[in-house]
């Protein structure tokens, strides 16, 4: 089933944000945002709390008035329309189900407000879609969090909006249910073909579900792209450490030489392919993802073509699928390295001297503020995909 | 509730049973807490009520000086109703009109304080309650001044020809209804405020997101969710307003007298205890009937 457009709209229902700005007093929540969200895509706005992602969503929904800029749906600027006049629906973070109505009436609410009388078939179809067929007569308070979440989804989807906005819809659910709902949401999106704009601070959630992820920071978009592209080749230090973790070594680059960019970091020379360098001169970060960093006991066991630093293991934590090591370098920074517990190779004891090596094709160069030191993950956070 | 059927019982086995004497005391505790209030009600409500019931059935030919005899004179009731039905009807009419005015003023007021007042919320609430710090009587006397024939309000209304050159407000039904509206307004506003204050603004946003215009949002979400407060407020307003006699006494004339004035005079002026008691019971029964019908109609599934 394709997304239904409602007559007067142009067929190309892309959602475009143009120079969108929102200020609260002197605080700029959303700063000159420009974004195109293709029709039918599953788009995630990812960022820490306070980065402006929810404000952006509320401006699309009409619950917040932009200070300046446009919200274009197709060719129509909807930025100044009242929320009830927009072909956009929202799944709220708190679900906001009407406590005085039963599930059936909650789901039927939008249709009835538009004067549609016979809603039974459509409501039952929606309840079936979210697998709540027999719950129509219940009150929201009688449902679990996951069930309420699905009612909120059905209540929004039944209106066949051109864009469905999801404001941290899974935030209140426990881990297992969240995973289940992620898959469920993705399934429903594929089934109905409506544009989903999903706001979340959970990088794993964004990566699991979205076709395109926009990483937001301080009211601006830091990077936009497919989850794998962003993860494998982040654009900024913020993205490198917000989406997963990275070991970022402060380095100096002196311009490209052939297809490589040579850099100097802490007295040693390394190189990175020019196609993986966001900058090629001046202060840079040499970045390597922890799972791309391999540990061996001596420099002569480093594979040909790999580059390395030496250090000592200061911490090892076993998390089932992998073991996460902290390696203190000679200059005192702590790098993290994840080794898959594949049964190949033994575990490295704490205190052992190690050589951490990587394939230069997995490294990347990012811009660095002059004077900024190494930026390494340090604490052992949950890595992407480690627990799934 | 079937929804909870799959929820495992919190603890498989209840904790070790507490020692018996402690459990016994615990079971008694609710009753002990109930005791002072119950004793108070028994002494000062139930006993006088019985006395009043007895008085309403005394021989009407008796008097305070000659003494009364309990002759089960049920005729007191139809007699009282026949003599004073206009005052009876007026009580309900005036209280009803005042209630409508109070809801029209009080609902927007309570809504504004609860949802829009921000940091002024407490101050505005104090303003609603502040008149209660002076006595009921003084407030009503103040209205007497405001509505008086040579007061500024009547002057203004005469100037704009809303009142004729000899038109007046004081000593008219309008004055009594205005007095009732003013005096009992806080009883309506406070419960309504409490219920609107709990209203989650995100539900209003959700309604707007789901194509409800502001009017529809009010009708479908705000009003149903504030219904418990509205019901409590209208009852707290209507019941004392119906039995009131101060407003009719001070702002009206005998032509505006309500049943409260008749009961007042029966007990304190004419010293006709059986009639006063019979009228009191009739009023109580009528209010109970009205409230019962109201709750049956308003307290349906439709409004929670």
The answer to whether the Cβ–Cβ distance between B205 and A83 falls below 8 Å is yes
CATH fold, domain B84-298, is: MetI-like fold (1.10.3720)
pLDDT tens-digit readout, A179-213: 888 888 888 899 888 999 999 998 888 998 999 99
Q: Nearest residue of A to residue B206 by CA position?
A: A96
Q: Which positions of chain B have pLDDT values less than 50?
A: 1-15, 17-18, 301-304
CA-CA distance, B162 to B232, in Å (whole number)?
A: 35
User: In this structure, are strands A294-296 and A353-358 parallel, antiparallel, or unpaired?
Assistant: antiparallel
Residue A379 φ then ψ, to 5°: -75, 150
- Location of structure tokens 């309500």: B258
Domain boundaries, chain A: 13-226, 244-374
Tell me the CB-side half-sphere exposure of residue A51, using CA atoms within 13 A: 19
The answer to whether the Cβ–Cβ distance between B3 and A89 falls below 8 Å is no
Which are the contacts of A62, defined by CB distance < 8 A and separation ≥ 6? A78, A81, A82, A83, A85, A86, A88, B208, B209
CA-CA distance, A233 to A235, in Å (whole number)?
A: 7
Q: Give the pLDDT score at B274.
A: 92
The answer to whether the Cβ–Cβ distance between A92 and B210 falls below 8 Å is no
The answer to whether the Cβ–Cβ distance between B210 and A156 falls below 8 Å is yes
CA-CA distance, B144 to A239, in Å (whole number)?
A: 73
Give yes or no for a contact between A21 and A35, defined as CB atoms under 8 angstroms apart: no
* Set of chain A residues whose Cβ sits within 8 Å of the Cβ of B206: 90, 92, 96-98
Q: Which two tokens stand for residue B66?
A: 């000659």
Q: Nearest residue of B to residue A98 by CA position?
A: B203
Closest-CA distance, A78 to chain B, in angstroms, reads 14
Q: Give the pLDDT score at B132.
A: 87
* Set of chain B residues whose Cβ sits within 8 Å of the Cβ of A148: none
Q: Which of A63, A82, A109 sits opposite B210 (nearest CB)?
A: A109
Q: Nearest residue of A to residue B225 by CA position?
A: A100
- Location of structure tokens 């702590």: A334
Which are the contacts of B283, defined by CB distance < 8 A and separation ≥ 6? B88, B91, B242, B243, B259, B260, B263
CATH number of A13-226: 3.40.50.300
Closest-CA distance, A66 to chain B, in angstroms, reads 17
Burial of B44 (0-12, 13-18, 19+ CB in 10 A): exposed
Across-strand partners of A315? A326
* Set of chain A residues whose Cβ sits within 8 Å of the Cβ of B304: 100
Interface of B to A at Cβ within 8 Å reads 1, 3-4, 200, 202-203, 205-213, 216, 220-221, 224-225, 303-304
The answer to whether the Cβ–Cβ distance between A113 and B202 falls below 8 Å is no
Among the listed residues B15, B248, B246, B43, the one whose alpha carbon sits nearest the alpha carbon of residue B136: B246
* Set of chain A residues whose Cβ sits within 8 Å of the Cβ of B209: 61-63, 83-84, 88-90, 156
Closest-CA distance, B284 to chain A, in angstroms, reads 33
Interface of A to B at Cβ within 8 Å reads 61-63, 82-84, 88-90, 92, 94, 96-100, 109-110, 113-114, 138, 142-143, 155-156, 159
Give the residue from A57, A104, A109 with the most B CB atoms within 10 Å of its CB, the best one to mutate: A109
Q: Give the pLDDT score at A239.
A: 93
Closest-CA distance, B168 to chain A, in angstroms, reads 48
Q: Which two tokens stand for residue B110?
A: 């309570």
Q: Nearest residue of B to residue A160 by CA position?
A: B210
Q: Which of B3, B211, B213 sits opposite A138 (nearest CB)?
A: B3
The answer to whether the Cβ–Cβ distance between B208 and A62 falls below 8 Å is yes
pTM of the model as a whole: 0.80
Q: Nearest residue of A to residue B204 by CA position?
A: A96
CA-CA distance, B280 to A368, in Å (whole number)?
A: 87
Across-strand partners of A338? A324
The answer to whether the Cβ–Cβ distance between B208 and A89 falls below 8 Å is no
Q: Which two tokens stand for residue A314?
A: 């200061």
The answer to whether the Cβ–Cβ distance between A109 and B212 falls below 8 Å is yes
Closest-CA distance, A94 to chain B, in angstroms, reads 8
The answer to whether the Cβ–Cβ distance between B211 and A84 falls below 8 Å is yes
Planar angle of CA A176, A182, A188, nearest 5 degrees: 135
Inter-axis angle of helices A120-129 and A145-157, nearest 10: 130
Q: Give the pLDDT score at A49.
A: 87
Closest-CA distance, A239 to chain B, in angstroms, reads 32
For A158-196, b/e burial (b = at least 16 CB within 10 A) is bbbbbbbbbbbbbeebeeebbbebbebbbebbeebebbb
Give the residue from B1, B2, B207, B210 with the most A CB atoms within 10 Å of its CB, the best one to mutate: B210
Across-strand partners of A112? none
Q: Which two tokens stand for residue A109?
A: 């609410």
* Set of chain A residues whose Cβ sits within 8 Å of the Cβ of B203: 96, 98-99
Neighbours of B94 (CB within 10 A): 24
Q: Which two tokens stand for residue A158?
A: 């039944």
Residue B31 φ then ψ, to 5°: -70, -40
Give the residue from B209, B302, B304 with the most A CB atoms within 10 Å of its CB, the best one to mutate: B209
Q: Give the pLDDT score at B21.
A: 54
Domain boundaries, chain B: 84-298
Q: Which positions of chain A have pLDDT values less than 50?
A: 1-11, 378-388
CATH of A244-374, picked from 2.40.50.140, 3.40.50.300, 1.10.357.10, 1.10.390.10, is: 2.40.50.140
CA-CA distance, A233 to A288, in Å (whole number)?
A: 10
SS3 B248: helix
* Set of chain B residues whose Cβ sits within 8 Å of the Cβ of A160: none
The answer to whether the Cβ–Cβ distance between B1 and A100 falls below 8 Å is no
Closest-CA distance, A204 to chain B, in angstroms, reads 27
Q: Give the pLDDT score at B20.
A: 52
């Amino acid at each position: 089933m394709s997304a239904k457009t409602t007559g007067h709209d142009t067929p190309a229902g892309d959602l475009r944000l143009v120079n969108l700005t929102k200020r609260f007093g002197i605080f700029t929540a959303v700063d000159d945002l420009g974004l195109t969200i293709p029709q039918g895509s599953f788009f995630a706005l990812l960022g820490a709390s306070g980065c402006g992602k929810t404000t952006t969503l509320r401006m699309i929904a009409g619950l917040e008035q932009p200070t300046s800029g446009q919200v274009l749906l197709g060719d129509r600027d909807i930025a100044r329309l009242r929320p009830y006049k927009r072909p956009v629906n929202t799944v709220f973070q708190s679900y906001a189900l009407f406590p005085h109505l039963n599930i059936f009436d909650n789901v039927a609410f939008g249709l009835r407000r538009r004067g549609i009388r016979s809603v039974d078939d459509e409501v039952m179809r929606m309840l079936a879609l979210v697998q709540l067929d027999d719950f129509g007569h219940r009150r929201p308070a009688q449902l679990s969090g996951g069930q309420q979440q699905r009612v909120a989804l059905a209540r929004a989807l039944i209106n066949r909006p051109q864009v469905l906005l999801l404001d941290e819809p899974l935030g209140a659910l426990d881990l297992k249910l969240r995973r289940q709902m992620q898959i469920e949401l993705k399934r429903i999106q594929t089934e109905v073909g409506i544009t989903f704009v999903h706001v979340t601070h959970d990088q794993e959630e964004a990566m699991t579900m979205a076709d395109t992820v926009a990483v937001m920071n301080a009211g601006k978009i830091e990077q936009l792209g497919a989850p794998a592209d962003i993860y494998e080749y982040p654009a900024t230090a913020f993205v490198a450490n917000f989406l997963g973790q990275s070991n970022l070594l402060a380095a100096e680059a002196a311009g490209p030489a052939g297809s490589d960019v040579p850099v100097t970091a802490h007295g040693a020379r390394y190189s990175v392919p020019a196609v993986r360098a966001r900058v090629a001169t001046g202060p840079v970060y040499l970045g390597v993802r922890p799972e791309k960093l391999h540990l061996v006991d001596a420099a002569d066991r480093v594979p040909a073509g790999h580059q390395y630093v030496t250090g000592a293991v200061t911490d090892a934590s076993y998390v089932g699928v992998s073991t996460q090591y902290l390696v203190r370098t000679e200059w005192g920074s702590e790098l993290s390295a994840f080794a898959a517990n594949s049964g190949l190779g033994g575990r490295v004891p704490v205190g052992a001297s190690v050589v951490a090596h990587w394939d230069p094709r997995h490294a990347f160069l990012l811009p660095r503020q002059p004077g900024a030191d190494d930026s390494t993950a340090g604490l052992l956070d949950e890595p992407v995909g480690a627990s799934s | 509730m079937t929804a909870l059927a799959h929820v495992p019982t919190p603890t498989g086995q209840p904790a070790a049973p507490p020692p018996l004497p402690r459990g016994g005391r615990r079971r008694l505790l609710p009753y002990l807490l109930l005791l002072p209030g119950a004793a108070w009600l028994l002494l000062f409500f139930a006993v006088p009520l019985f006395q009043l019931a007895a008085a309403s059935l005394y021989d009407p030919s008796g008097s305070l000086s000659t003494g009364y005899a309990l002759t089960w004179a049920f005729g007191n009731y139809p007699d009282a109703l026949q003599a004073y039905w206009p005052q009876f009807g007026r009580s309900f009419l005036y209280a009803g009109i005042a209630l409508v005015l109070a809801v029209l003023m009080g609902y927007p007021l309570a809504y504004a304080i609860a949802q829009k007042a921000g940091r002024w919320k407490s101050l505005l609430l104090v303003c609603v309650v502040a008149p209660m710090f002076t006595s009921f009587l003084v407030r009503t006397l103040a209205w007497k001044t405001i509505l008086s024939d040579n007061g500024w309000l009547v002057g203004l209304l005469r100037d704009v020809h809303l009142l004729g050159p000899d038109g007046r407000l004081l000593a008219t039904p309008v004055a009594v209804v205005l007095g009732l509206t003013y005096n009992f307004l806080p009883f309506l506003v406070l419960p309504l405020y409490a219920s609107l204050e709990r209203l989650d603004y995100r539900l209003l946003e959700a309604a707007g997101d789901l194509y409800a215009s502001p009017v529809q949002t009010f009708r479908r979400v705000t009003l149903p969710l504030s219904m418990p407060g509205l019901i409590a407020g209208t009852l707290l307003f209507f019941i004392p307003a119906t039995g009131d006699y101060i407003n009719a006494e001070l702002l009206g004339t005998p032509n505006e007298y309500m049943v409260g004035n008749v009961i007042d005079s029966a007990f304190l002026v004419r010293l006709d205890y059986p009639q006063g008691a019979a009228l009191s019971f009739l009023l109580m029964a009528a209010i109970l009937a009205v409230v019962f019908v109201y709750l049956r109609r308003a307290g349906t599934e439709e409004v929670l």
